[in-house]
Each structure stands twice: as C-alpha cells, then as structure tokens.
C-alpha cells in the first residue's frame, strides 16, 4: 500500500508546454506539500495546503498553480514550462496542527516526479 503516490514518475516535455503532476496520500493527513529538488539536491518547499487551504506559498513563479480538490489530493499545474523548471518534484504529507507536537508532524514523501524540459 503506497502512502504518498505521485504521477507521473517521469515527465519529458518541450519548453512552453503546460503540464500537471498529481499527488495522493492515503495516510489521512491534513497537510500536503510540494517541494522542488534541483540538480544540486537542494530540497525547497514550494506550497503547502492544510485541509484544502493554502498555508505556505513561497516565492514561486505564478506559472506554478497548486490545486487541492480534497485533503487527500494535491496537484501541481505548471504553465509555459522553462528549462529551469527541470528538477525532481516531491509531494509530501503530514498530520500538521498549529504549534502541534513534533512527532505528529513528520513529513512522508512521495517517490518524486522527474521533470525534464527540453
């Protein structure tokens, strides 16, 4: 049973295209995240949703638009793809409560989506 799943696993596309990545978690968590890991392996938060509400929105170009239809799903749509968008995108989830106990907030990561923009 996969806890956090992402599709697709690999995505190769041309510059200027629009693409979507989907994420689903079956852990019953309230909070989901999108991270970008670049070629230098830096893992950086992009967005976070808690119960379908956007709670973290880092300085990400507005070509990136997350959507959370329900608390088990968080999708990422990217418009007008650029070469610099090539990276691995990880989805994660946690049971996150405001100022909650740390043990409840361990983030569980999906397998990643490897995006290559040509």
Other CB atoms within a 10 A radius of the CB of residue 71 amount to: 18
DSSP assignment of 10-31 equals EEEE-TT--EEEEEEE-S--SE
Candidate ranges 14-22, 43-51, 62-70, 77-85; the one touching other proteins (CB under 8 A): 43-51
**Residue 28 sits in the site that holds other proteins (CB under 8 A):** no
Nearer to other proteins, 78 or 92 (CB): 92
Q: Determine if 12 is a binding residue for other proteins (CB under 8 A).
A: no
User: Which of 17, 106, 116, 118: binder of other proteins (CB under 8 A)?
Assistant: 106
CA distance 45 to 58: 7
26 binds other proteins (CB under 8 A): no
Within 8 A by CB and 6+ apart from 73, the residues are 22, 23, 24, 32
Per CB under 8 A, the list member of 90, 93, 115, 117 interacting with other proteins is: 90
Q: Which is nearer to other proteins, 16 or 100 (CB)?
A: 100
Indicate whether 110 belongs to the interface with other proteins (CB under 8 A). yes
Using the minimum distance from each CB to other proteins, give the nearer residue, 28 or 102.
102
Q: Which of 28, 69, 84, 102 binds other proteins (CB under 8 A)?
A: 102
């Amino acid at each position: 049973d996969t806890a956090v799943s992402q599709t697709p696993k690999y995505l190769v596309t041309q510059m200027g295209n629009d693409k979507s990545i989907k994420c689903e978690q079956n852990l019953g968590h309230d909070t989901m995240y999108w991270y970008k890991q670049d070629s230098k392996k830096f893992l950086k938060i992009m967005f976070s949703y808690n119960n379908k509400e956007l709670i973290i929105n880092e300085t990400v170009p507005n070509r990136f638009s997350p959507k959370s239809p329900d608390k088990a799903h968080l999708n990422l749509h990217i418009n007008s793809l650029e070469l610099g968008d090539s990276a691995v995108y990880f989805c994660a989830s946690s049971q996150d409560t405001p100022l909650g106990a740390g043990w409840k907030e361990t983030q569980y990561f999906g397998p990643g989506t490897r995006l290559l923009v040509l």
